[in-house]
Structure 1
């Protein structure tokens, strides 16, 4: 992946830098499903934990079993860029499909 902060290789035409071309190499990409996410942070990093809620009868046991399958470690700067990017994506999604309601007790919300 090309770091968007590097501009040494960008040609300048008529005093204006051209937009760098990013080559997204997906040859080793893997897909995972997650319906649960959690986050922690320290001064140096932000940790995102992704997993799947495997609880079938939560009303009977009052316990949830979440199988964590991915941890993503980000610098605070990358985390902030992700926060901005996700906000923009969700704004577009809600514009097309309507608001996402995460109120407790509603579909998609916590119970």
Structure 2
């Protein structure tokens, strides 16, 4: 068999996660908005320390804009991550 006739096996590229410019932000609130072309994730922090407040102010800190395909992949990854978390630490009830 010649080199030209050998089946070419697809290879998965090695991913190099470069976190040198990454920042970390805490969020305890998330909201999702969407249009036909994009899904937006809004992250922020609830500043109400008293549960009897009539108004809750949420300071938004980050907006992540995804195309629908990336949003669907994120959904699958979050679902898998939460299943693993609940298997280890117990079910999360909302």
Structure 1 segment 5-16 matched on structure 2, within 5 A = 15-16=8-9
Structure 1 residue runs without a partner (length 5+): 1-12, 103-111
Structure showing greater Rg: 2
Correspondence 1:44 to 2:42: no
Alpha-carbon displacement from aligned partner over 1:52-77 (angstroms, at most 9, x marks no partner): 00012240x31101000000000001
Counterpart of 2:3 in structure 1 is none
Distance 2:91 2:49 in 1: 27
Tell me the TM-score normalised to structure 2 length: 0.89
Q: Quick one: which of 9, 17, 20 aligns to 2:13?
A: 20
SS in 2 for 1:85: helix
Tell me the TM-score normalised to structure 1 length: 0.76
Moved more, 30-39 or 17-26: 17-26
**Relative contact order (C-alpha < 8 Å, sep 6+): which is higher?**
2
Alpha-carbon distance, 1:46 to partner: 0.3
Distance 2:30 2:18 in 1: 26
The root-mean-square deviation of aligned C-alpha atoms, in Å, is 1.3
Q: How many residues align?
A: 89
Counterpart of 1:66 in structure 2 is 58
